[in-house]
Amino acid sequence: MAARWLSKEEQRAWRAYIEAVRLLQDALDAQLQADADMPHAYYEILVRLSERPDRRLRMAELATGTQSSRSRVSHAVARLEERGWVRREPCPSDRRGQLAVLTDEGYDALAAAAAGHVAAVRETVIDPLSREQLLALADASRAISAAVEAMRDHGVRSRATP
């Protein structure tokens, strides 16, 4: 397979993208860590749980919902449980399964964190972009997500040839 490089324009675009991604992630992580003492990944777990009427979710659903591995969620929920923000329950319909349940303390922690986090998101992403830009960003993002999932599934055609 001939290695096809990026054009100057593609290169510039790609770098602008990952640069923004890194800066943003670090900034949001730092903001949440400083203001709410939790990493962004934990925040997202609490958000997903809070959106459920019964405030509970299977571990696997939590994993797919937050685009993370089962192992990550398992470790994270263990930590959240130590803090009393989440509790585990056995799943009635499948005895292998576990339900992560958001506790009242967890809900309070989320409520306390949310305003600051949303303000930061607004300040760094929503407000600096026009509506068209934001929608374009979302479109491009969906295309990227689809492509990543496609690559994951069909097993990376372009793997380094051994």
- For a second copy (CB under 8 A), the number of binding residues is 69
Q: What's the rounded Cα separation, in Å, for the pair 62 and 45?
A: 7
Cβ nearer to a second copy, comparing 60 with 137: 137
Site string for a second copy, 17-56 (x = CB under 8 A): x-xxxxxxxxx---x--xxx--------------------
Does position 98 interact with DNA (CB under 7 A)? The reply is yes
Q: Which of 28, 46, 49, 73 binds DNA (CB under 7 A)?
A: 73
Token look-up 């309070």 returns: 108
Q: What's the rounded Cα separation, in Å, for the pair 65 and 77?
A: 14
Residue 126 has, within 13 A of its CA and on its CB side, a CA count of: 7
User: What are the backbone angles phi and psi of residue 90, rounded to the nearest 5°?
Assistant: -65, 145
Q: Which one of a second copy, DNA, none is in contact with 90 (Cβ closer than 5 to 8 A by kind)?
A: none
Residue 28 has, within 13 A of its CA and on its CB side, a CA count of: 22
Positions that interact with DNA (CB under 7 A): 26, 29-30, 33-34, 38-39, 41-42, 58-60, 63, 68-79, 88, 91, 94-98
